[in-house]
A and B are shown apart, each in its own frame.
Chain A
Amino acid sequence: MPKDHSIHKIAVIGSGPIVIGQAAEFDYAGSQACISLREEGYEVVLINSNPATIMTDDEIADQVYLEPLTLESVSAILAKERPDALLPTLGGQTGLNLAVELNDAGVLDQYHIQLLGTGLATIEQAEDREKFKQLMQDIHQPIPASLTVHSLASALQFADQIGYPVIVRPAYTLGGTGGGIAATPAELTKIATRGLAMSPVTECLIEKSIAGFKEIEFEVMRDANGDKISVCCMENFDPVGIHTGDSIVVAPSQSLNDQQFQRLRYASLAIVDALQIKGGCNVQLAQDPHSDQYYVIEVNPRVSRSSALASKATGYPIAKITAKIAIGLTLSEITNPVTESTYAAFEPALDYVVAKIPRLPFDKFTGANRELGTQMKATGEVMGIGLTLEEALLKAVSSLEIEPQVQATLLPLNVPTDTELTTALQHPTDQRLFELFAALDRGWTIDKIAALTQITPIFLHKLNHIWQLKQQLGQGLTPDRLATAKQFGFSNDNIAAATGQPIAAIEAQLTEAQLTPVYKMVDTCAGEFASETPYFYSSFFPGENESQPLGNSIIVLGSGPIRIGQGVEFDYTTVHCVQAIQAAGYHAIIINNNPETVSTDFSISDKLYFEPLTIESVMHIVDLEHPLGVIVQFGGQTAINLTQALVDHGVHIMGTSLAGITQTEDRHQFEELLKTQQIAQPAGATAMNLAQAQQIAPQIGYPVMVRPSFVLGGRAMAVVHDETELATYVAKAMQAAPHQPILIDHYVAGIECEADILSDGHNVFIPGIMEHLEGSGIHSGDSIAVYPPQRLTQAQKDAIIATAIKIGQQVHCVGMMNIQFIVSDQVYVIEVNPRASRTVPFMSKVTGQHLAKIATKLILGQSLTDLHIQPGYAPEPDHVAVKAPVFSFTKLAGMACSLSPEMKSTGETIGIAPTYQEALAKSLDDSYHLKPVQDGQVAILDETAGQDHSLRTMLDQTGVETLVAPSTEQLAQLTPSNVWLVVNNAPEQTTATPLNYFALSSEIPFFSATETLKGILAALNVPIA
Chain B
Amino acid sequence: MKKYLTLSDGTTFEGLAFGDHNALAAGEVVFNTGMTGYQEAITDPSYTNQLLTFTYPLIGTYGIFKNQNQSSQSTCQAVLVRHLENEIGDANLSLDAWLKDLHIPGMSNLDTRALTKHIRQHGTLKAIIANEPLTVADFNTLYPTLSTELSKKPQLQHQTYLALHADYHVVVIDFGIKQGIISELLAANCDVTVLPYTTSLAEIKQAHPDGILISNGPDDPSVYTDYLPLIQQLEACYPVAGICLGHQLLALANGAKTYQLPFGHRGLNHPVKLLTSNHTIMTSQNHGYAVDPASLKDTDLVVTAVEGDDHTIEGLAMQHMPVISVQFHPEANPGPLDATNFFHQFKQLMHKEVKLHA
Q: Give me the interface of A with B, judged by CB distance under 8 Å.
A: 225-227, 229-230, 252-259, 261-262, 265-266, 269, 330-332, 341-343, 345-353, 387-389, 457-458, 461, 520, 525-530, 541-544
- How far apart are A509's CB and chain B's nearest CB, in angstroms? 22
Residues of B within 8 A of A350 (CB): 35, 56
Contact for A543 among B33, B111, B267, B271, CB less than 8 A: B111
Q: Please give 19 more A-B residue pairs, beta carbons under 8 A apart, in addition to A258-B333, A346-B282.
A: A229-B282, A252-B56, A254-B58, A257-B36, A257-B37, A257-B68, A258-B68, A262-B332, A262-B334, A266-B336, A342-B309, A343-B309, A347-B268, A349-B33, A349-B34, A349-B56, A388-B83, A461-B87, A520-B113
Instruction: Name the CB-closest residue of A to B282.
Output: A347
Interface stretch among B114-122, B135-143, B191-199, B208-216? B114-122
- What separation, in Å, do the CA atoms of A544 and B113 have in the docked complex? 8
B58 to A261, Cβ gap below 8 A? no
Q: Does B320 contact A (CB under 8 A)?
A: no
Are B82's CB and A331's CB within 8 A? no
Using CB atoms, name the residue of chain A closest to B56. A351
Docked CA distance A458–B338 (Å): 29
- How far apart are the CA atoms of A348 and B270 in the complex, in Å? 10
Q: 19 A-B residue contacts at CB 8 Å? A: A254-B61, A255-B62, A256-B62, A257-B37, A259-B65, A259-B333, A262-B332, A266-B336, A332-B271, A347-B282, A351-B56, A351-B57, A352-B57, A353-B58, A387-B57, A461-B86, A527-B116, A544-B113, A544-B117
Q: Shortest beta-carbon distance, B16 to chain A, in Å?
A: 12
Let me know if B308 and A346 touch, CB within 8 A: yes
Given contacts A225-B279, A332-B271, contact A351 B112 (CB under 8 A): yes
Q: Which of B60-104 contact A (CB under 8 A)?
A: 61-62, 65, 68, 82-83, 85-87, 89
- Could you say which residues of chain B place their CB within 8 Å of the CB of A525? 33
Q: Which of B309-349 contact A (CB under 8 A)?
A: 309, 332-338
Q: Which 10 A-B pairs have the closest CB atoms?
A: A543-B111, A258-B37, A526-B55, A258-B334, A347-B269, A544-B114, A349-B33, A527-B116, A258-B36, A332-B280
A458-B62 CB under 8 A given contacts A349-B56, A388-B57: yes
- The yes or no answer to B20 lying at the interface (CB within 8 A) is no
Most buried by A among B35, B55, B334: B35
Residues of B contacting A345 in the complex (Cβ-Cβ under 8 angstroms): 271, 280, 308
> Complex: how many Å from CA A907 to CA B280?
42
The range of chain B's interface size is: 35 or more
Q: Check if B273 is an interface residue, CB within 8 A of chain A.
A: yes
Closest chain B CB from A933 CB (angstroms): 58
Contact between chains at B57 and A226 (CB < 8 Å): no
Q: Are A226 and B279 in contact (CB under 8 A)?
A: yes
A269 to B39, CA, bound (A): 24
CB-defined contacts of A543 to chain B, threshold 8 Å: 111, 113-114
Contacts of B39 in A (CB 8 A): 257-258
Chain B residues with Cβ under 8 A from A269's Cβ? Answer: 338
Bound form: Cα–Cα A348–B309 in Å: 13
The answer to the question of B174 belonging to the interface, with a C-beta cut-off of 8 Å to chain A, is: no
Q: Which residues of A contact B334 (CB under 8 A)?
A: 258, 262
Give Cα distance in the complex from A252 to B33, angstroms: 13
On chain A, the residues within 8 Å of B206 by CB distance are none
Contacting pair B55 A331 (CB below 8 A): no
Taking a contact as CB atoms closer than 8 A, the residue among B56, B83, B269 that contacts A346 in the complex is: B269
Whether B269 pairs with A388 at a CB distance below 8 angstroms is: no
Contacts of A331 in B (CB 8 A): 280
Separation in Å of the A523 CB from the closest CB of chain B?
9
Are A530 and B55 within 8 A (Cβ)?
no
Residue B278 at the chain A interface, CB threshold 8 Å: yes
Q: Give the CA-CA distance A636 to B273 in the complex, in Å.
A: 48
Asked if B40 lies at the interface with its beta carbon under 8 angstroms from chain A, I say yes
* A349 partner, pick from B55, B61, B112, B332, beta carbons under 8 A: B55
User: What residue in chain A is nearest B82 (Cβ atoms)?
Assistant: A387
Establish whether residues B55 and A528, one from each chain, have CB atoms under 8 Å apart when the complex forms. yes
* Chain A residue at minimum C-beta to C-beta distance from B40: A258
For the complex, what is the distance from the CA of A256 to the CA of B58, rounded to whole Å? 13
Most buried by B among A258, A265, A348: A258
Q: Is there contact, CB below 8 Å, between A527 and B61?
A: no
CB-CB < 8 A to A261: which residues of B?
Answer: 36
Question: Would you give the shortest CB distance from A250 to chain B, in whole angstroms?
Answer: 10
Cβ–Cβ < 8 Å partners of A341 in chain B: 309
Q: Flag if B56 contacts A541 (CB, 8 Å).
A: no
CA distance A529 to B267 in the complex (A): 13
**Residue among B33, B58, B61 having the largest count of chain A Cβ atoms under 10 Å:** B61
Give the complex CA separation of A259 and B36 in angstroms: 9
- The answer to whether A265 and B336 have CB atoms under 8 Å apart is yes
**B270 nearest CB neighbor, chain A only:** A346
Report the separation of the CA atoms of residues A266 and B37 in the bound assembly, to the nearest whole angstrom.
Answer: 16
Residue numbers in A under 8 Å from B62 (CB-CB): 254-257, 458
Partner of B111, one of A225, A254, A542: A542
Q: Which residues of A lie under 8 Å from residue B33 when comparing CB positions? A: 349, 351, 525-526, 528
Q: Tell me if B89 and A257 are in contact (CB < 8 A).
A: yes
How many angstroms from the CA of A331 to the CA of B308 in the assembled complex? 10
Q: Which residues of A are found within 8 Å of B308, using beta-carbon distances? A: 332, 342-343, 345-346
Q: A258 contacts which chain B residues (CB < 8 A)?
A: 34, 36-37, 39-40, 68, 333-335
- For B332, the chain A residues whose CB sits under 8 A away are 262
Query: A879 to B353, alpha carbons, bound, how many Å?
Result: 81
**Residue numbers in B under 8 Å from A225 (CB-CB):** 278-279
Closest B residue to A521 by beta carbon equals: B113
* Bound CA span A948–B117, Å: 73
**A-side contacts of B281, CB under 8 Å:** 227
Q: In angstroms, how far is the closest chain A Cβ from the Cβ of B35?
A: 5
Closest to B273 in A: A332
A528/B58 in contact, CB under 8 A: no
Shortest beta-carbon distance, A705 to chain B, in Å? Answer: 51
Within 8 Å CB of B109, what residues of A? 541
Q: Give CA–CA (A259, B65) in the complex, Å.
A: 10
Q: Mark B269-301, 1 if CB is under 8 A from A, else 0.
A: 111010000111110000000000000000000
Query: Which residues of B lie under 8 Å from residue A387 when comparing CB positions?
Result: 57, 82-83
Complex Cα–Cα for A387 and B108 (A): 13
Question: Which among B61, B87, B113 is the interface contact of A351 at CB below 8 angstroms?
Answer: B113
A341 → chain B, closest Cβ, in Å? 8
Whether the pair A528, B120 counts as a contact (CB closer than 8 A) is: yes
Please state if B335 and A262 are interface contacts (CB–CB under 8 Å).
yes
A703 vs B82: C-alpha distance in the bound complex, in angstroms? 62
- Is A266's CB under 8 angstroms from B36's CB? no
Closest A residue, CB atoms, query B119 = A527
B306 to chain A, nearest CB (A): 11
Given contacts A388-B58, A525-B33, A262 and B309 within 8 Å (CB-CB) = no
From A256, A353, A461, B36 is in contact (CB under 8 Å) with: A256
Partner of B61, one of A330, A343, A458: A458
Q: Smallest Cβ distance from A260 to chain B, in angstroms?
A: 8
* Interface set, chain B 1-54, CB cutoff 8 A to A: 31, 33-37, 39-40
Instruction: Fill in one digit per residue for B250-278: 1 if any A CB lies within 8 Å of its CB, else 0.
Output: 00000000000000000111110100001
Asked if B114 and A255 sit within 8 Å, CB to CB, the answer is no
Q: State how many angstroms separate the Cβ of A83 from the closest Cβ of chain B.
A: 31
Which residues of A are found within 8 Å of B36, using beta-carbon distances?
Answer: 252-253, 256-258, 261-262
Residues of A contacting B31 with CB < 8 Å?
Answer: 527-528
Q: Are B87 and A458 touching (Cβ within 8 A)?
A: yes
B35:A349 contact, CB within 8 angstroms: yes
Does the CB pair A528–B35 fall under 8 Å? no
Taking A342-B309, A343-B308, A461-B87 as contacts, is the C-beta distance between A349 and B120 under 8 angstroms? no
Cα of A526 to Cα of B82 in the assembled complex, Å: 13
Return B115 CB to nearest CB of chain A, in Å: 9
Query: How near does chain A come to B118, taking the closest CB pair, in angstroms?
Result: 9
Determine which residue in A461, A528, A542 has the highest number of CB atoms from chain B within 10 A of its CB, and name it. Answer: A528
